[in-house]
Chain A
Amino acid sequence: DVKVTQSSRYLVKRTGEKVFLECVQDMDHENMFWYRQDPGLGLRLIYFSYDVKMKEKGDIPEGYSVSREKKERFSLILESASTNQTSMYLCASSGEQGRYEQYFGPGTRLTVT
């Protein structure tokens, strides 16, 4: 079974702090994704990585950056957290033998105060 883990289930940070969200997958997937999920807005893609050190902006990259130094790990960075970044953050991976389904982590509920 594919396993995607995220570093924290709940996180509370202050406005202006730098925040790191970590995601690790154990299936050697090429592709990894970061989404945020908000009521009424659904899942929105922040960033996508298709290989180590490769990344593409998603639909809402502003205020975020990412890092992928190893194939199994994809980090989302909030350079200076703001209250409008309070959200559920979900990491996913895909690419097992050319298949398109995504495997999600449990999510990190981030609150910025």
Chain B
Amino acid sequence: SQKIEQNSEALNIQEGKTATLTCNYTNYSPAYLQWYRQDPGRGPVFLLLIRENEKEKRKERLKVTFDTTLKQSLFHITASQPADSATYLCALGRGAGSYQLTFGKGTKLSVIP
């Protein structure tokens, strides 16, 4: 069956360091992968989308990689700040042209001053 795993439920990191979050999947051939940020009690907010034919995408301090051979995406936040503390969700498109997503359970990132 299809499965998405985000490597850890929680990740603590020192301010200024690079946070790296992992999303692994099995039995999927996603056309794209997305990352969202969710703060407590709020809906997720879209951050980045990367397509299957793209290796890397950047937006300000954020970088996403997508390795369809390893079936893995890495999400990096460089120069992390306490304001980056949140839960980060990866989500996979269910097929070419599909707007439906399957979400991972998320990794709660805490950036310690």
Q: List chain A positions with a Cβ less than 8 A from chain B.
A: 4, 31, 33, 40-45, 48, 50, 58, 90, 92, 94-95, 99-107, 109
Instruction: From A42, A94, A99, A103, give the contact of B103 (CB < 8 A).
Output: A42
Give chain A's interface secondary structure class.
strand
A45 to B34 Cα, complex, angstroms: 16
Number of interface residues, chain B, beta carbon within 8 A: 19
Q: List 29 A-B contacts (CB under 8 A).
A: A4-B43, A31-B99, A33-B100, A41-B105, A42-B89, A42-B105, A42-B106, A43-B103, A45-B101, A45-B102, A48-B100, A50-B99, A90-B43, A90-B44, A92-B43, A94-B99, A95-B99, A100-B32, A100-B49, A100-B99, A100-B101, A101-B49, A103-B46, A104-B44, A105-B43, A106-B43, A107-B41, A107-B42, A107-B43
CB of B43 within 8 A of CB of A101, answer no
CB of A101 within 8 A of CB of B89, answer no
CB of A100 within 8 A of CB of B34, answer yes
Distance between B36 CB and nearest chain A CB, rounded to angstroms: 8
